[in-house]
A and B are shown apart, each in its own frame.
Chain A
Amino acid sequence: MNVQPPIRKSHDRLEPQVNSRLYLIYLVIGVCMLMLIGGLGYRQLFQREAHESAAERQNYRRILMPGPRGIIYDRDNTVLVGNRPLFSAVVYLNELRAEFREEYYNIVRQKRELGLKPDRFNTNITARKNVVQRYMNRLNQLLERKEEVDSKQIERHFSQSLLLPFPLIKDLPEKEYARLIAQVPLDSPIQILSGIARWYPFGEAAAHTLGFVSDSTEFPEGTVPGDQLLTFRNAGQIGRSGLEKHFNERLQGETGGEIWSVDPSGFQYERVVHETPGKGQNLQVSLDIDIQVTAEKAMGEKIGAVVAIEIETGEVLALVSKPSYDLNTLSPFISYKVDEEIREKGAWLNRATQGLYPPGSIFKLVTAIAALRAGVISAHTEIDCPGYKIVGKRAFHCHRLSGHGPEDLIGAIRDSCNVFFYTCGTELGVWGIANEARRFHLDQPTGIELPGETTRMLVPDPEWKASRFYGEGWFGGDTANMSIGQGFLLLTPIQMATFAASIASGTTFVKPTLLHDNPEIQKRDPLGLAPEKFALIKEGMRLAGERGTARLAGKPGMPVSGKTGTAQVRKDGKPTTLAWFVGFAPVQNPRIAIAVMIEGVPEQETNYGGGSTAAPIAKIVFEEYLGM
């Protein structure tokens, strides 16, 4: 059978000859398209929110800016604490990660070449330090400085506040600021930031009262939207001591901020949100800077405290603690050297509110009032002072060893006769004196608007002694000591100033305040002493100021009422003295009360006395206040 091959007719269509290589390309294109569609779909449908959020994070930057702090004025509107511009050079460690990594591998390679096994942890630290030091060297070259970076600071910053700027040089002078502005490229990791630092026009004056601030990013977020955005917080300031700390919330400004759209390289393109930070509230304090400066000058290099109070209002006119420090050296930050210097001279302590001292003879006024109120003595009581008094088996001496002879209350205050008050105190008993001291609030802080006022003041009694000395009893000698302000008594200079003000106003407590025109109305309890008895105390103080132990506090035409004290203490294991003065002026209608306390210095064998050392300082302050 002959099989004929199929005849291809002309109208039959030719089957296309497909090149097999095209299938490969179709396959590749198909797979790619599927991957693209799949990927696109996945991203659009499932990762939409994440991408939106990431886009926002990539396209926007939020910068929070704390408001400038309020200004602090004295009672006459003189600026005590202001603000000044602060320029600093910083780097963002977060943006240096690639360089850290590169430096890390370089160090590892070098160590391996030397046959050493690199320690990962320490190598990372070294790498970070090297990179940051490189930028510091760039600044050193531009500014002709020789600054070194601190590895510990870098690590602390790296682990705790990576997104915040790491300061390379703080507080650039104008010339250096201009040089960096001109010569550091905008896209350099080194950024030049402007900020605010506190400025103290009077330097050391009222340093302990005004206080200082330190940089902090702990400020409220405010109302700037965009919590989820990459946020940078400019450093603000937080009060660390004094009024700056006590009134921190009031002084701190309202947080503002900006949101910027940025290009892929992070360059700011357009500001989309702007909220101006608000300045903090100003503060007018009761201090009179002229009186403050005068008191500080009067103290010179002596160690101690001066507190001056306006009797009618309780406003503190001056609050001095020496040694002091220049507040400008603490702004914008406290350097290690400055901290050491202040620590060495013991200047961090505010002696006016934190220093505890035996009050010495000025406490005799408490004993006198207690004795008058209890009826132990009267206007006609006379006690003979032979120069000593035997209490128990021990002789307690008067400061005049030959004795004052017969003394009434007025003479005893004028002459500060110990024997008179030993007698009053021992007859009155410890509880009579202690309760009287507590009535004058001497066992508690005054409540002045300063942080850190000590609460460890001590008005002792038998119960306290028993608990403190494992059941030891209270002796008559303890009462004798306490009656002249010695022994276990510990009080602060500001307590003594309020005590002087309360005697001047015939009340038991004048609450001191550092706010001018404080709307809080003070409730004052009356002294609880018959006028004729109270007149004895005032007359004794007037005579002390006129011709007694406190005579150097006044002068002709400027009579003052006062009481001096010279307490025996041990300082650093060596005996020395504390010189005290409390008083008020004018004698009639007193307006100002002052307490002065000067510490003796054992090494310098100072022979300070209340009348010879403290009273002349008080005189200068009285003169300034009374304009005489």
Chain B
Amino acid sequence: MPRNLTHQAKSLLLVVLLLLLWWFTPSFVKRGTEVIFSEFQAPAWTGMSYLKDLRSYWTNWGSSKEDLISAGMNLSRLNAAYVVRNQQVDSMERELRRLEGYFNLPSYPEYQYEVARVIKRDLTAWWQVLVIRKGINYGIEPGQAVIFSGGVVGRVQSVGAYTSTVELISSPHFRAAGHFESDDRPVEFRGGINPGLRAPTGTVSTVPVDLVASRKDPVRLTSSKLGGIFPDGLTIGWVYNLEPSSDGLFQTGKVMLDPRLQSLREIAVLIPIETRGDPGR
């Protein structure tokens, strides 16, 4: 009977042994396993995103010639408008450099913009991350700023060989230094718990008491260069109301974030030029 018992409990014992083994496995092995698992998954995510692009391509292939000509003309107009805009920006940058030199002002740190396609969104109440289609192969590193045309997207959380994970500013684990437009005192921005199907929000705290925000005159919260992550002045969100905090020295408020954060398709990673090595493309 005891022999039978051992034989019968063999599978159970095996499971227990495996669990114990995992329990006592050093954390670096676990971390390595996680990374390898992620790296194995990444080509699947990347492949899926390429397939989506292909599907989109074939969908357009089926369009009529008139539609394509019309779309082409629209694209040409947009391109022309962007060329003009680029020229204006170049001219303003030159003027800025001239004035900085004239007043002996330090130049803003410069960044290389690495545009990347979003291949996966993982948006829950507890974490909000995007996976993008570029990784170490493009010189992306953890902690770098991620932006889009509407302002701040978030920060690179982890980087794989060909993909990176970006933590959104709407994530409850996100915190950044910011300041209000036309006021340079730093304030603290935090993401919030943002269940889907609702415009994302965050909170701002340590706001000086002399600042006023109302539904009629909302104030724009922008990134602060003091934090050392984001360049100055990128939109984080809008604040419509500020309440005095408990200590009487500050105010707190809810920050309405850009709803497009939940449907982003392309973003740009800001890679500081001085830290960028060989992109290795």
Could you tell me which A residues sit within 8 Å of B by CB distance?
Answer: 21, 24, 65, 67-68, 83-85, 87, 174-175, 177-179, 181-187, 192, 194-196, 256, 258, 263, 267, 269, 274, 276-277, 279
Chain B, 169-202, contact with A by CB distance < 8 Å: what is the 0/1 string? 0001111110000000110101001000000000
The answer on a CB contact under 8 Å between B227 and A68 is no
Among B176, B185, B188, B193, chain A packs the most CB atoms within 10 A around the CB of B188
| Given contact pairs A68-B249, A194-B206, A194-B250, A179 touches B228 in the complex (Cβ within 8 A) | yes
What are 6 A-B pairs with beta-carbon distances under 8 A? A68-B249, A174-B185, A178-B186, A182-B175, A183-B227, A277-B246
Given A68-B248, A181-B188, A182-B229: A267 and B177 interface contact (C-beta under 8 Å): no
Please pick, from A174, A178, A194, the residue contacting B247 in the complex, using a CB distance under 8 A: A194
* A276 partner residues in chain B, CB cutoff 8 A: 244, 246
Other than the given A24-B5, A276-B246, 15 more pairs (CB < 8 A) read A68-B247, A68-B249, A85-B206, A87-B206, A174-B226, A175-B186, A178-B227, A179-B227, A181-B176, A181-B177, A182-B224, A185-B175, A186-B175, A194-B250, A274-B246
Q: How far is the CB of A579 from chain B (nearest CB, A)?
A: 45
Q: Please, which residues of chain B bring their CB within 8 A of the CB of A256? A: 246
B226 and A24 contact, CB distance less than 8 A: no
B247 touches A277 (CB 8 A): yes
B25 interfacial by beta-carbon distance below 8 Å: no
Which chain A positions have C-beta within 8 A of B175? 181-182, 184-186
Q: Could you say which of A84, A181, A187 contacts B173, with CB atoms under 8 Å apart? A: A187
Q: How far is the CA of A177 from the CA of B228 in the complex (A)?
A: 11
List 8 A-B pairs, minimum CB-CB distance, nearest first. Answer: A182-B227, A178-B226, A178-B177, A178-B186, A181-B177, A182-B177, A68-B248, A182-B229
Residue of A184, A194, A277 ringed by the most chain B CB atoms within 10 A: A194
Q: In the bound complex, do residue B247 and residue A196 qualify as a contact, i.e. CB atoms below 8 Å apart?
A: yes
| B-to-A contact residues, CB < 8 Å | 4-5, 8, 126, 143, 172-177, 185-186, 188, 190, 193, 205-206, 224, 226-230, 244, 246-250
Find the B residue at minimum CB distance from A85. Answer: B249
Residues of B within 8 A of A179 (CB): 177, 226-228
In the bound complex, how far is the Cα of B155 from the Cα of A185, in angstroms? 11
Closest to B172 in A: A267
A residues near B177, Cβ cutoff 8 Å: 177-179, 181-182
**Smallest CB–CB gap between B5 and chain A, Å?**
7
Q: Which residues of B contact A279 (CB under 8 A)?
A: 248
User: In the complex, are the beta carbons of A178 and B224 less than 8 A apart?
Assistant: yes
Closest residue on chain B to residue A63 by CB atoms: B246
Chain B residues with CB under 8 Å of A277's CB are: 246-248
Complexed CA–CA distance, A277 and B143 (Å): 37
- For the complex, give the distance between the alpha carbons of A274 and B205 in Å: 16
**Residue of A with least CB distance to B143:** A183
Nearest-neighbour CB distance to chain A for B28, whole angstroms, equals 14
Bound form: Cα–Cα A182–B228 in Å:
7
**How many Å from the CB of B222 to the closest CB on chain A?**
13
User: For the complex, what is the distance from the CA of A182 to the CA of B167, rounded to whole Å?
Assistant: 13
Residue of A nearest to B184 (CB): A174
Contacts of A194 in B (CB 8 A): 205-206, 247, 249-250
Which residue of chain A has the shortest Cβ distance to B190 in the bound complex? A186
B5 to chain A: closest residue by CB: A24
A67-B247 Cα distance, complex, nearest whole Å: 6
Write out the residue numbers on chain B whose beta carbons fall within 8 Å of the beta carbon of A182: 175-177, 224, 226-230
Taking a contact as CB atoms under 8 Å apart, the answer to whether A21 and B173 are in contact is no
**Alpha-carbon distance A174/B190, docked complex (angstroms):** 18
Which residues does chain B contribute within 8 Å of A178, judged by CB atoms? 177, 186, 224, 226-227
Given A68-B249, A258-B246, answer yes or no on A177-B173 (Cβ-Cβ < 8 Å). Answer: no
Residue in A85, A183, A274 whose CB lies within 8 Å of B228: A183
Contact of B229 among A67, A183, A192, A258 (CB under 8 A): A183
CA distance A600 to B168 in the complex (A): 69
Is B172 a contact partner of A181 (Cβ separation < 8 A)? no
B143, B175, B230 — most chain A CB neighbours (10 Å): B175
Would you give the shortest CB distance from A19 to chain B, in whole angstroms?
11
Q: In whole angstroms, what is the CA distance A182 to B224 when docked?
A: 9
Contacts of B176 in A (CB 8 A): 181-182
Q: B188 — which chain A residues lie within 8 A by C-beta? A: 181, 192
Distance, CA A175 to CA B225, complexed state (A)? 9
Report A-chain residues with C-beta under 8 Å of the C-beta of B190. 186
B245 to chain A, nearest CB (A): 9
Residues of A within 8 A of B224 (CB): 178, 182
CA distance A181 to B193 in the complex (A): 19
- Kindly report which residue of chain A lies nearest to residue B188, judged by CB atoms: A181
Residues of B within 8 A of A65 (CB): 246-247
CB-defined contacts of A186 to chain B, threshold 8 Å:
172-175, 190
The answer on a CB contact under 8 Å between A67 and B173 is: no
- A21 vs B224: C-alpha distance in the bound complex, in angstroms? 70
The residue in A24, A181, A279 that gathers the most chain B C-beta atoms within 10 A of its C-beta is: A181
Q: Which residue of B lies closest to A257 (CB)?
A: B246
A275: min CB distance to chain B, Å = 8
**A183 partner residues in chain B, CB cutoff 8 A:** 143, 227-229
**Residue of A182, A185, A186, A195 ringed by the most chain B CB atoms within 10 A:** A182
Complex Cα distance, B249 from A196, in Å, reads: 8
Which residue of A is nearest B185, CB measured? A174
Chain B residues with Cβ below 8 Å from A177 are 177, 186
Q: Tell me the minimal C-beta distance from A260 to chain B in angstroms.
A: 13
CA distance A621 to B248 in the complex (A): 38
> CA separation between A65 and B246, bound complex, in Å?
8
Minimum CB–CB distance for B238 against chain A, Å: 20
Please, which residues of chain A bring their CB within 8 A of the CB of B4? 21, 24
Assembled-state Cα–Cα distance A267/B125 (Å): 13
CB distance from A183 to the nearest CB of B (A): 6
B residues within 8 A CB of A187? 173
With both beta carbons as reference points, the residue of chain A lying nearest to B175 in the complex is identified as A186
Contacts of B185 in A (CB 8 A): 174
Q: How far is the CA of A158 from the CA of B268 in the complex (A)?
A: 46
A68 to B249, CA, bound (A): 8
Give chain B nearest CB distance to A272 CB in angstroms: 15
The residues of A that contact B126 with a CB separation of less than 8 Å are 263
Shortest Cβ distance from residue A401 to the other chain B in the assembled complex, whole angstroms? 65
| Cβ–Cβ contact A175 & B226, under 8 A | yes
> Nearest residue in A to B249 (C-beta to C-beta)?
A85
- Per the bound structure, the CA–CA distance linking A186 and B8 in Å amounts to 49
Bound-state Cα–Cα, A41 to B8, Å? 31
Complex interface: chain B residues within 8 A of A85 (CB): 206, 249-250
What is the bound-complex CA distance between A84 and B193, given in angstroms? 31
